[in-house]
Structure 1
């Protein structure tokens, strides 16, 4: 009877840990839509989606150049342009490092499937993967809501006029402005409703691609960084509990050294792969918070509620993404620092000289914590978040003075 209950308990814990692989299943879903899933990449699908995205981006840049003398228009263009340029960097990053991401995902999935953990270690891993899935849900849902509301904003602003124009008693005298969702330059005149709505519809794929590329890159980084952080936390627990008996200590130390070297390699690959993306996020986030803050203040002054809802949703997403990146980066630094403390807290003073020397070398190697950097020169952490918001508010003050 007791044996049956114990087996059920073990099986339940195994199911909970196996459920952690769901984060990587979500990554598969998002990356596959762009042809970027490492296990089964599609060059054709990526070429189509990336080519379409680049085409629309060229039109966005043309619009910026044509109205470069109009500061108000430039601000409106940069509201989209900066975010879309970030997405371009994300797609390029995922394509350039597709092989490395495949290796990282494979190693992370293998770590979970091997399930060589005791109850304490299993709890740590489950807690980290729960955080990972929570962040992923928040980011994907908020990205979807923001992207959809931004795309639908021109129609919502003139919903009454459009309904009246196409109503059962069609009113030819009713007019509405031919506003498109994005500031992509058009080489033809939008002088009738039919041309307008077909052009509007042609930009719908851009909504889908931008949503998927944002979600894919966000979820990939969150899943990988939290997995490495969880594995480092487990390793720290094992280091603290190393047995001082020479017959067991040597083997445990060798296992610990191999695990530490493997996690350090994974951490460095993650840092290198996401460096350019984080740099674009840091620079773009600073600009977007400033510009969106300016537009929100302008909408409050003019009483434009329809536009205000879309802008508030937009700035919340920018802040959420920036905070999520800074938060998981802070976690990685914290867990890496605890690794060094774990070596100090183990019973190294009771070990034989050979094993104590190995502990010293491992302690020296763990002095420099793993971290995420923006362009190799700025470390991502929670301080980065506060400094970015502070800098954006300073730029907003200058912008309001100039305008």
Structure 2
């Protein structure tokens, strides 16, 4: 597989460890391991939720279990989608590598700047999720220690992830083994979620770098030196076509993932918001509240990343028409002029990422998620 300058080494490692990177070693084995781990974990998580509902358990426990089960279900859906669309993803990577080769005809500084910016955002996303995981585990251990100091009851030991095991787990050293396995699962799942969120940012910024190159090429048209369609206009049209093709590939890969993302994020944000309100009303300790807030920030960031990606792509694509109109197209030969006019007309159709082909991703979509979640929180709190 050819190298790709747009994707950082950290993301490539994550793609290999999840069986997504094309033609990687032990690809099938890695996928089978993920399927076994995810299916086993999901069964135990939903067993806990069903048990709480059937036994008439506390609504807080049901929502707490649901808020941790849904992100893993969403991750499982994302992995399956990437595995099914592995040929499309491989073609995208090959086209991105070819874009770097073709960019030698233009000023490559815009592509490099966007790639560096994508690297920074990728690291930031990974750091946020890593902090959330280690803080969650640290607070859990601190709360467990405080409970043991007050009144130790071995049967009241809590799990890091809400699951219903078919065996007794609270006796040592089995409890410690289960805790380590759950922490490993939590860290690996959070890393995979962060990696896939960073991936869409990288893909979007790659297209954004190409659009920046097109802007600069349109602004630097010198009519007296450009009389040949082949030498000037044709590379611009080819670059615009690659931009359209790249955005369509992103849309085909992420459309249904985005739909599930919006639905799950709405429910998860609703559940976590409800837990925050309950924690404030019950005057829980500051450690538990911080734990919930970090989880809320991580999930909200996930919804924001997809919405921002759609908003960024839409605005960037529409700016091509403005840039083309601001160039010296009217001084070109009639033959070349018509082609630039067609580029303006085509660029007025904005490039978007949709959620299931029926709703564009934008910051308005993110605002709707927060607004809808707040409405559901009020309903849950009224039932509590």
TM-score greater than 0.5 by the shorter chain: yes
Aligned counterpart for 1:88 among listed residues 57, 76, 79: 76
Q: Show the counterpart of 2:357.
A: 376
Is contact 2:207-2:247 (8 Å) kept? yes
Q: Write the mapping of 1:1-400 to structure 2, written as runs, cut at 5 A.
A: 21=5, 23-40=7-24, 42-68=27-53, 69-70=56-57, 71-112=59-100, 116=104, 121-160=107-146, 174-176=152-154, 177-245=156-224, 247-301=227-281, 302-400=283-381
**Residues 88 and 191 (structure 1 numbering): CA distance in 2 closer, same or farther, change over 3 Å?**
closer
Distance 1:328 1:149 in 2: 28
Distance 1:152 1:87 in 2: 24
Cα RMSD (Å): 2.4
- Residues 27-46 of structure 1: CA deviation (Å, up to 9, x unaligned): 21111122221242511112
Q: CA deviation at 1:234?
A: 1.0
- Residues 106-145 of structure 1: CA deviation (Å, up to 9, x unaligned): 3324434666266xx4443333223312221121011112
Distance 1:287 1:192 in 2: 34
**Residues 300 and 216 (structure 1 numbering): CA distance in 2 closer, same or farther, change over 3 Å?**
same
**Residues 374 and 22 (structure 1 numbering): CA distance in 2 closer, same or farther, change over 3 Å?**
closer
Distance 1:307 1:370 in 2: 43
Q: CA deviation at 1:290?
A: 1.7
- Residues 313-336 of structure 1: CA deviation (Å, up to 9, x unaligned): 111112222222222322211110
- Residues 282-324 of structure 1: CA deviation (Å, up to 9, x unaligned): 1122122221111112222222322212111111112222222
- Residues 140-176 of structure 1: CA deviation (Å, up to 9, x unaligned): 01111222333454322122466x79xxxxxxx9435
Is contact 1:89-1:276 (8 Å) kept? no
Distance 1:84 1:260 in 2: 38
Secondary structure (helix, strand or coil) at the match of 2:260 reads: helix
Q: CA deviation at 1:337?
A: 0.3
Is contact 2:6-2:202 (8 Å) kept? no
- Residues 25-69 of structure 1: CA deviation (Å, up to 9, x unaligned): 222111112222124251111211222112111221222222224
Distance 1:402 1:303 in 2: 20
- Residues 217-264 of structure 1: CA deviation (Å, up to 9, x unaligned): 112111111111110121122123334346334431111111111221
**Residues 186 and 153 (structure 1 numbering): CA distance in 2 closer, same or farther, change over 3 Å?**
farther
Is contact 1:151-1:182 (8 Å) kept? no
Q: CA deviation at 1:73?
A: 2.7
Distance 2:247 2:87 in 1: 15
Distance 1:215 1:191 in 2: 31
Is contact 1:150-1:310 (8 Å) kept? yes
Alignment gaps of 5+ in structure 1 = 1-19, 166-172
Q: CA deviation at 1:280?
A: 1.9
- Residues 182-238 of structure 1: CA deviation (Å, up to 9, x unaligned): 122211123523232222233233123302321221121111111111101211221
Secondary structure (helix, strand or coil) at the match of 1:111 reads: helix
**How many equivalent residue pairs?**
374
